[in-house]
A and B are shown apart, each in its own frame.
Chain A
Amino acid sequence: MQEQQRDYVLRTVEERGIRLVRLWFTDVLGNLKSFAISPAEMENALNDGMSFDGSSIDGYSRIQESDVLAIPDANTFEVLPWVDPKGAEARVFCDIANLDGTPFNGDPRQILRRNLTLAQDKGFVFYVAPDIEYFYFAPPDGKSKPVPLDNGGFFDLTSTDIASSLRKETIRTLETMSIPVEYSFHEDAPSQHEIDLRHTDALTMADSVMTFRFVVREIAALRGVHATFMPKPLEDIQGSGMHLHLSLFRGDTNAFHDPDDAYNLSPTAKKFMAGLLHHAAEITAITNQTVNSYKRLVPGFEAPVHVSWARNNRSGLIRVPVPKRANESATRIEYRSPDPACNPYLAFAVILAAGLRGIEGDYELPAESDANLFEMDDAMLEKLGIQQLPQSLADSLRVMENSALVADTLGDHVFEWFLRNKRAEWRGYKTHISQYETDRYLRSL
């Protein structure tokens, strides 16, 4: 199997005249990292991995040894469809290992892998389908505010033409790269788009999200357009989320499904939801990791603010979609707080861990909240026992640092590095004097 897989990759490199193979991996913050090797080095890379200095990668730095190995996962080998066939290139995702071959603690892909194995030991396979939102803007000049394409004037073509042809091109590229698309549409906000991916196991999906972000940006850049996954780029317009549709399967059976339940939810699903709600605040720093993320999580823009669940209430943190027809495998829950700027490997890992904790600990699911929580005052919310999600990066870091669940899930290396890095980000933000402040206070005070 392994042997044949290697053979397949090497043969394809030869037959397709691949000039460069890009080895892809992810830093702790979720940025795609890559280095290229020549086809001649590929066999070596598949057998022994390629060593490189990890100290330049965010979150990989260690005190002593900084060399690590990138070991290609041969099943993720794909020819890059947008590159000139005369100089064809391919990419392959890598697992990062220590020089002795053991998994490297700083590698998000290894962290997700480890957590998926834990779930698998309990008989569960974790499936994820994300709905990813993003904006198209004119290339940023660093001074003025982002210019949405839909405002017109920037392009000769009407803006809807260019945006929809960009989206079409993106989807075609994704599909040739093994990422089937479920729906795609233009969101309410100007220049905002949403592409929904079809569910796969969580590891494949985390790889797919990385590829997705790369493809969306790349295709846009080829047309001189800037695509961004910034959670809240425009103040008065809804931000970009990455709603995650989640389910657990035992073999062929959807462990979330129960035909006799009013919501078609099994006890396993309810405990998973209870776990996710109970630990939601602890994992928010991971699912919403930027200062800007918290400007999306405000009332009035269909983004969740409260820790609650409901069937049809899109202001809730967890929504239980009602399947169109009785389809057992479609029973799922939708976790609505994550944004597309997160590290998908770490986000999927902590979400899974929170849900599994609910199952193991036999957590009880709180009552559904179908009322509009935005209209309630704090006293009413307190009476109902409904809490808010952390209000800022600083808030969520404070909750995360006391979370044994998150520490266990990420491992000490990433847990500590992440807190250090994000506290520094917050400090940088806290000392910044914004335009808002100058406008409001300079004259009047």
Chain B
Amino acid sequence: MITGRDTPLNMLAVFPAPAPIELARTLDLAGYRWKAFQTGEEAWRHEPEGGWAGAVVMCDDDPEGGWAMCRSLRKRENAVSRVLVLLSGSQLTDLELRDELFDDFCLTPFHPRELEARLRHLFWRELKGSRESLVEYDGLVLNLETYQASFGGQSLDLTYMEYELLKFLAQNPGKVFSRETLLSRVWGYEYFGGARTVDVHIRRLRAKLGEEHAYLIQTVRSVGYKFGQSTWG
């Protein structure tokens, strides 16, 4: 239910190994994390936790090896879903009848900006507005990218500290936090109002969530506050 934006979503498998210098540079500068392999088997052996986010396969020097890599990445049950193929203009006919093996392609010699743009587009769902950057609970949605909050589809206008407090609580459902912990984790420093500030902000959040949803934030007597139910039951 809760997904953090820190999950690595950009681990790419690259063919061939070692990766051509221009390709390595482009991927590094664009901020992707990647590993180069000579065969699909090798890539599967080194599959990261959570799977490969995608693959960049350069076919221009070794078309046989390149397409073999693509087939290998695609045939498994947890197939790599975003494969970008790099090939020269004279190889364009190779694309025919291989639609299932790739998602996009780019001609070599590639322009780094073009490759970057194509990769970004391939991953846009992950990078923008994806579940990765949303915190959701029972109709409450916090978009960590845009700082916007909504409840049941209605936007919820929060001040900065209200937003930060709600975000922290919603990211840790079912856990009980003392006022001091919330103060140090959310405000992050010895705040003017002291720990009572937390009470004030909790009341404001409850008021904004409305009476029928105020239950989301519960007071745990003489301990502190808890948001929703624990995912462990």
List the interface of chain A (C-beta within 8 A of B): 1, 4-5, 7-9, 11-12, 15-16, 74-79, 81, 116, 120, 125, 127, 175-176, 178-181, 198-201, 204, 249, 251-252, 329
User: In the complex, are the beta carbons of A252 and B189 less than 8 A apart?
Assistant: no
Q: Sort A-B residue pairs by CB-CB distance and give the 9 closest, nearest first.
A: A175-B207, A180-B207, A79-B157, A8-B160, A201-B193, A178-B204, A180-B203, A5-B160, A252-B195
User: In angstroms, how far is the closest chain B Cβ from the Cβ of A19?
Assistant: 15
Bound complex: CA A201 to CA B208 (Å)? 19
CA distance A74 to B188 in the complex (A): 17
By a CB distance below 8 angstroms, the chain A residues around B200 are: 198-201, 204
Point out the residues of chain A lying under 8 angstroms from B162, CB to CB: 178
**A residues in contact with B208, CB < 8 Å:** 175-176, 178
Partner of A249, one of B157, B159, B194: B194
| Interface pairs (7), CB distance under 8 Å | A15-B147, A120-B192, A175-B208, A178-B208, A179-B207, A181-B207, A199-B200
Report Cα–Cα, A211/B131, bound state, in Å. 37
- CB proximity of A71 to chain B, nearest CB, Å: 16
- B74 CB within 8 Å of chain A: no
CB distance from B180 to the nearest CB of A (A): 8
Q: Are A125 and B207 in contact (CB under 8 A)?
A: no
Cβ A198 vs Cβ B160 within 8 A: no
Nearest-Cβ distance from residue B167 to partner chain A, whole angstroms: 11
**In the complex, which range does the number of interface residues on chain B fall in?**
20 to 34
A120-B192, A252-B196 known; A16+B179 contact, CB < 8 A: no
CA distance A12 to B155 in the complex (A): 11
Give chain B nearest CB distance to A257 CB in angstroms: 13
A182: shortest Cβ distance to chain B, in Å?
10
Q: Does B146 contact A (CB under 8 A)?
A: yes
Chain A: minimal CB distance from B183 (Å)? 10
For the complex, give the distance between the alpha carbons of A175 and B207 in Å: 5
Q: Mark B189-219, 1 if CB is under 8 A from A, else 0.
A: 1001111110010011011100000000000
Interface centre among A9, A181, A252 (most CB of B within 10 A): A252
Indicate which residue in B148, B189, B197, B207 contacts A12 across the interface (CB closer than 8 Å).
Answer: B148
A77 CA to B203 CA, complexed, in Å? 18
Q: How far is the CA of A196 from the CA of B64 in the complex (A)?
A: 78
Which residues of A have CB within 8 Å of B179?
252
Contacts of A74 in B (CB 8 A): 160
Question: B155 and A75: CB pair below 8 A?
Answer: no
Instruction: Check: B161 CB closer than 8 A to any chain A CB.
Output: yes
Chain B residue with Cβ nearest A125:
B194
User: Is residue B163 contacting chain A, with contact meaning CB distance below 8 A?
Assistant: yes
Shortest Cβ distance from B199 into A: residue: A329
Is the Cβ of A75 less than 8 Å from the Cβ of B147?
Answer: no
Return the contact of B193 from the options A4, A9, A125, A175 (Cβ within 8 A). A125
**Which chain A residue lies CB-closest to B187?**
A1
Closest to A7 in B: B147
List chain A residues, Cβ under 8 A from B155: 16
Q: Is the CB of B194 within 8 A of A251?
A: yes
Which of A81, A120, A125, A179 sits near B196, CB closer than 8 Å?
A: A125
Bound complex: CA A179 to CA B157 (Å): 13
A5 and B148 CA atoms in complex are apart in Å by 13
For B148, B195, B197, B200, the residue with the greatest tally of chain A CB atoms inside 10 Å of its CB is: B200
B188 neighbours in A (Cβ, 8 Å):
1
CB within 8 Å for A9 and B196 given contacts A1-B189, A16-B155, A175-B208: no
Q: How far apart are the CA atoms of A15 and B143 in the complex, in Å?
A: 11
Contact A75 B160 (CB under 8 A): yes
Given A16-B148, A175-B208, A198-B203, output 6 extra A-B contacts at Cβ < 8 Å. A120-B192, A125-B194, A175-B207, A179-B207, A180-B206, A201-B197
By a CB distance below 8 angstroms, the chain B residues around A12 are 147-148, 157
A76 to B195, CA, bound (A): 19
Q: Which B residues touch A15, using CB under 8 A?
A: 146-148
List chain B residues, Cβ under 8 A from A178: 159, 162, 204, 207-208
Q: What are the residues of chain B within 8 A of A199 when measuring CB–CB?
A: 200
Which of B155, B159, B189, B192 gathers most chain A CB within 10 Å? B159
Give bound CA distance, A8 to B163, whole Å.
9
Please determine whether A251 and B203 come into contact, CB atoms closer than 8 angstroms. no
Within 8 A of A (CB), among B114-173: 146-148, 155, 157, 159-163
In the complex, chain A residues whose CB is within 8 Å of the CB of B204: 178-180
How far apart are A397's CB and chain B's nearest CB, in angstroms? 33
Chain B residues positioned under 8 Å from A175 (CB to CB): 207-208
Q: Report whether B146 and A77 are in contact in the complex, using a CB–CB cutoff of 8 Å.
A: no
A68 to B54, CA, bound (A): 56
**If A76-B159, A180-B206 touch, does A125 touch B146 (CB 8 Å cutoff)?**
no
Contacts of B194 in A (CB 8 A): 125, 249, 251-252
Across the interface, A75 reaches (CB within 8 A) one of B146, B161, B195, namely B161
Q: Contact: B192 with A201, CB < 8 Å?
A: yes
Q: Which residues of chain B are near A5, meaning CB under 8 Å?
A: 160
In the complex, which residue of chain B has the Cβ closest to the Cβ of A203? Answer: B192
- CA A7 to CA B146, docked complex, whole Å: 10
A179 CA to B204 CA, complexed, in Å: 7
Task: Please measure, in the bound complex, the distance between the C-alpha atom of A11 and the C-alpha atom of B155, giving whole angstroms.
Answer: 14
Cβ–Cβ contact A4 & B160, under 8 A: yes
* Complexed CA–CA distance, A404 and B218 (Å): 47
Q: How far is the CB of A181 from chain B (nearest CB, A)?
A: 8
Q: How far is the CA of A252 from the CA of B222 in the complex (A)?
A: 12
- Say yes or no: B196 contacts A78, CB within 8 Å: no
Select from chain A the residue with minimum beta-carbon distance to B206: A180
In the complex, which residues of chain B have a beta carbon less than 8 angstroms from the beta carbon of A201? 192-193, 196-197, 200
Q: How far is the CA of A8 from the CA of B143 in the complex (A)?
A: 12
Given the complex of chains A and B, what is the CA–CA distance between A76 and B203 in angstroms?
16
B134 to chain A, nearest CB (A): 14
B189 contacts A78, C-beta separation under 8 Å = no
Which residue on chain A has the smallest CB distance to residue B189? A1
Nearest A residue to B210 via CB reads A175
Please measure, in the bound complex, the distance between the C-alpha atom of A180 and the C-alpha atom of B205, giving whole angstroms: 9
